[in-house]
Amino acid sequence: MTQRNVGETPLIYGSRDVPEIISLCNSLKTKNSSVIEIENAMHSDIFTLERTFQSVISKLNDYLSDSKKYDK
């Protein structure tokens, strides 16, 4: 298995997050970074929402399917 680049690490933030975080995430989106916005999430509750868990599971599935390609 190979080590992934830091730029490929997904970043999850809330649409109602801290303004500085929203601004940074929006600028990262334009640089083809893996940035996921969770609608109606605030900074303090993002980890309790179903959509966050679905996003994490999806990224883990992507990562694991990519890893299997290198195991062969």
| Contact of 45 with 14, CB cutoff 8 Å | yes
Tens-place pLDDT, residues 22-44:
999 999 988 878 899 999 999 99
Place of tokens 């975080």: 21
Look at residue 2 in the predicted model and tell me its pLDDT.
Answer: 45
Residue pair 59/35 in contact (Cβ under 8 Å)? The answer is no
Rg (CA), the chain: 14
**What whole-number distance in Å separates Cα of residue 68 and Cα of residue 45?**
33
Q: Enter the pTM of the model.
A: 0.72
Where along the chain do its domains lie?
Answer: 6-71
Burial class of residue 56, CB neighbours in 10 A (0-12, 13-18, 19+): middle
pLDDT attached to residue 71: 62
Binned at pLDDT 50, 70 and 90, residue 70 comes out as low
